[in-house]
Amino acid sequence: MLENLLISMENHNSLFENEIRKLNVPVCDIFVKDGKIVPAKFEKTDKKIGTSDVAEVNKEFPKTVKETENKILKGISGSVNVSGKRVAVLFSGGPAAGGHNVIIGLKKVLGDGNILFGVKNGPKGLLEGTLFEIKEEDVKRILNTGGFDFLGSDRTKIKSEEQYEAVRKTVKDYQLNGIVVVGGDDSNTNAAVLAELLYDMGVQVIGVPKTIDGDLQIGDILPISFGFDTATKIYSELVGNILQDTPSSRKYWHFIKLMGRSASHVALEVALQTRPAIALISEEVEAKKMSLGDIVKSICDVILTRASKGINHGVIVIPEGLIEFVPEMKSLIAELNDIMGHYGEDISKMFTFEEKKDFIYKKLNADSAKLMASLPDEFEKMLLLDRDAHGNLQVSQIPTEKLLITMVEERINEVKNHLDEIAYLNFDEKGLERIKKFKFATNNHFFGYEGRCGAPSLFDAAYTLNLGLCAGSLILDGKTGYIASVTDFDKGGSVLALPLTGLLNIEKRHGKNEMVIKKGLVEVDSPAFKFFEKRRKDWAEKDLFTSPGPRQLWGPVSKQLPITVALNRGYSSLEFNLGKETKVF
């Protein structure tokens, strides 16, 4: 009997997975009529958006800009009766929880009268024409499940004439009227490019904001990307568990690097959820122009202050992209990016690391070469890894947490032998005695991939279903060149569409200027950062940590929003309201 039950649970049929498929999902009022999910319409508002590079962007994207006027659309109840549309959806970039519900939202609004195709393996699949028709039976199984496995994903950047031709061929082969790109900043740059490219063919392109990094966000009009909530809840549970371990075992400092390529939204959210002794925020490091030495000193000050009180343990949260924000490292990385952009092919033909190093060192300026030489070999190797298709350094592969451990250890040993160096910390005799005896024992962790594909939190499940409904409604309403958005998470949700061209700015990639969607970084004057800044001294000196526990899909704490979002949007509670819980199938 038990064996049969266990066998029946194979292939995504765990007790948990079977229950989450039955879960009703909150749906914004404009998408519900008589208890059934329906499409909505859109009207143009007067609100225009654009970055400081708007003039250049407008020149490069004349057709979509003429169409959208860079103005925001607002979703309203009611729909246009449309059938016969053929729409393709693809995932792009790293996975994020809730992607499957986007597909379900699309399928629901497109209904039986229109065809939804899934593109296998991301933008690459669009070039190769690997599409298949999505039927309602297929998507019933993926409701509220994590991962992107239904379609797969990749990071191909669509930018060459040959690639444009391949896209046109796929569009013709499948007679597509619309393409929905579910992705982060770089993937939505692809969406903007495709919208312009396919405009004259009458093919609509709509983006959906995805990334666990949370850096596809623009104040009130796009409060967060999907996947951020689930990922940070998973990391917060893990960090909370480690925090709970520290005063139990009383001997370790844990250096925890958290995913989130550039921005520190993930680190800030996890810090607010768990209250560790130290959390580094890259944007603050940049704003204060802190060198690696300054960072190490600030970490050591906290470790030593705690040691002087007999607290020999703690947790340090480190954002994945930290090194790109340290001024001296930033110049080194920019130089390396230029060198690799220009000589990438020559470098890839070199067999040994020594050969590569030799070649690169000669091209670096003296300060950068000196800094590079001071870094551990393992670290140097990772800095020389190929950039991704969008020109990004693969920061997830760089062991910043280990580099910091080595540097902090060195300083602590030095300070123990020269206590006068920390006279400014004003420790008493007893405190100094404790420091002399203090043994600095460490563990390092990287929490990244474990957060991207968990079953979506209730917020992400609801947010993504509504984003899918918004994207599908935009297609039915004939719109192109927009990214779907849902806001007002505390008031039942408002549905918007933002012109993609209004999000583009010019950045250096592969050593050249390119138009890409601007990343939303942590603002050091934002309410979330200010609150963290106000509380962190207490978290450093006393053990005030909290363990948020596993994310909940049922019960009293299942409706919790990310703390950073609630603070930055000025909500008065952590509870979200995205409409009535609605039966999806």
Give the Cα separation of 337 and 551 in Å (integer).
39
Amino acid at 147: G
Please report, as residue ranges, which positions from 189 to 228 form the binding site for ligand FBP (by CB under 6 A). 211-213
* Number of amino acids touching ligand FBP (CB under 6 A): 14
Please report, as residue ranges, which positions from 153 to 192 form the binding site for ligand FBP (by CB under 6 A). 184
Question: Per CB under 6 A, which region of 93-101, 428-436, 545-553, 566-574 contacts ligand FBP?
Answer: 93-101
Which residues pair with residue 393 across a beta bridge? none
Q: Does 261 bind ligand FBP (CB under 6 A)?
A: yes
Q: Does 411 bind ligand FBP (CB under 6 A)?
A: no
Give the Cα separation of 394 and 15 in Å (integer).
37
Residue 294 annotated among the catalytic residues of the structure: no
Residue among 67, 237, 283, 320 that touches ligand FBP (CB under 6 A): 320
Amino acid at 584: V
Report the candidate in 398, 409, 396 with the shortest Cα–Cα distance to residue 443: 409
Distance of CA 475 to the CA centre of its chain: 25
The site map against ligand FBP for 503-542 (x = CB under 6 A) is ----------------------------------------
The residue among 300 and 404 lying less far from ligand FBP, judged by its C-beta, is 404
Token look-up 């802190």 returns 290
Residue among 396, 406, 526, 558 that touches ligand FBP (CB under 6 A): 396
Q: Does 390 bind ligand FBP (CB under 6 A)?
A: no
Collapse the DSSP code of 359 into the 3-class scheme (helix H, G, I; strand E, B; otherwise coil) and give the result. Answer: helix
Give the Cα separation of 196 and 91 in Å (integer).
20
Distance in Å, CB of 420 to ligand FBP, minimum: 42
Give the Cα separation of 481 and 178 in Å (integer).
11
The encoded tokens of residue 77 equal 């109840």
List 29, 138, 173, 213, catalytic entry: 213
Question: Per CB under 6 A, which region of 88-96, 191-199, 422-430, 528-536 contacts ligand FBP?
Answer: 88-96
The residue among 246 and 262 lying less far from ligand FBP, judged by its C-beta, is 262
Give the Cα separation of 349 and 333 in Å (integer).
21
Q: Does 383 bind ligand FBP (CB under 6 A)?
A: no
C-beta of residue 356 within 8 angstroms of C-beta of residue 384: yes
Report the candidate in 49, 78, 66, 46 with the shortest Cα–Cα distance to residue 473: 78
Give the Cα separation of 32 and 494 in Å (integer).
13
How many Cβ atoms are within 10 Å of 59's Cβ, its own excluded? 9
Distance in Å, CB of 240 to ligand FBP, minimum: 20
Distance in Å, CB of 320 to ligand FBP, minimum: 6
Locate the DSSP E strands across 265-329. Answer: 278-279, 314-319
The residue among 263 and 307 lying less far from ligand FBP, judged by its C-beta, is 263
The residue among 365 and 397 lying less far from ligand FBP, judged by its C-beta, is 397
The residue among 396 and 442 lying less far from ligand FBP, judged by its C-beta, is 396
Question: Per CB under 6 A, which region of 257-265, 413-421, 459-467, 543-551 contacts ligand FBP?
Answer: 257-265
The residues that touch ligand FBP, with contacts defined as CB under 6 A, are: 93-94, 96, 184, 211-213, 259-261, 320, 395-396, 452
Please give the positions annotated as active site: 213
